[in-house]
Amino acid sequence: MHEYSLVQAMFDQIGDAVRANHALAVRRVHVRIGRLAGVEPDLFRTAYDVFRIKTFCSEAPLVIEDAAGDELLLERLELEVP
């Protein structure tokens, strides 16, 4: 169940992006998970849904893009700014 620790690491990255952009909230999160990454997309989504409660991502759907290799990337965020 390393998906939970991966989501935790991703939230640190999202937090950095939110602060750097003075964002009010995250509207959408785009990630890319390769088939050889050793990560189960459904479990990743479940972990995300647990973590995002009462955070800047509480209203942000997660978009998971498939890939052929071992990619494990936070690709892009849609941020609500003042």
Partner 1 sequence: MCDSCGCGDPHVVSFDVHERMLASNDRTAAHNREHFKDHGVVAVNLMGSPGAGKTAVLEATARALGREARLGVLAGDLATDNDATRIRAAGIVAESITTGSACHLDAEMVHRGLHRLSWRTLDYLFIENVGNLVCPAVYDLGQDVNVVALSVTEGEDKPLKYPTMFRKVDLVLLTKIDLLPQLPEISVDRIAENLRLVMARPTMLVVSARTGAGIDEWIAWLRGQGRPRLTACAGAAGAGAFV
CA distances from 24 to 3, 13, 59, 69 (A): 26, 16, 12, 34
Per rule CB under 8 A, is residue 19 in the interface with partner 1? no
d(CA 56, CA 24): 7
In the complex with partner 1, the residue whose CB is nearer, 46 or 80, is 80
**Judged by CB under 8 A, how many residues of this single chain contact partner 1?**
30
Per rule CB under 8 A, is residue 31 in the interface with partner 1? yes
Per rule CB under 8 A, is residue 58 in the interface with partner 1? no
Binding residues (CB under 8 A) for partner 1: these are 1-2, 5-6, 9-10, 12-13, 17, 21, 24, 27-28, 31, 36-39, 70, 72-82
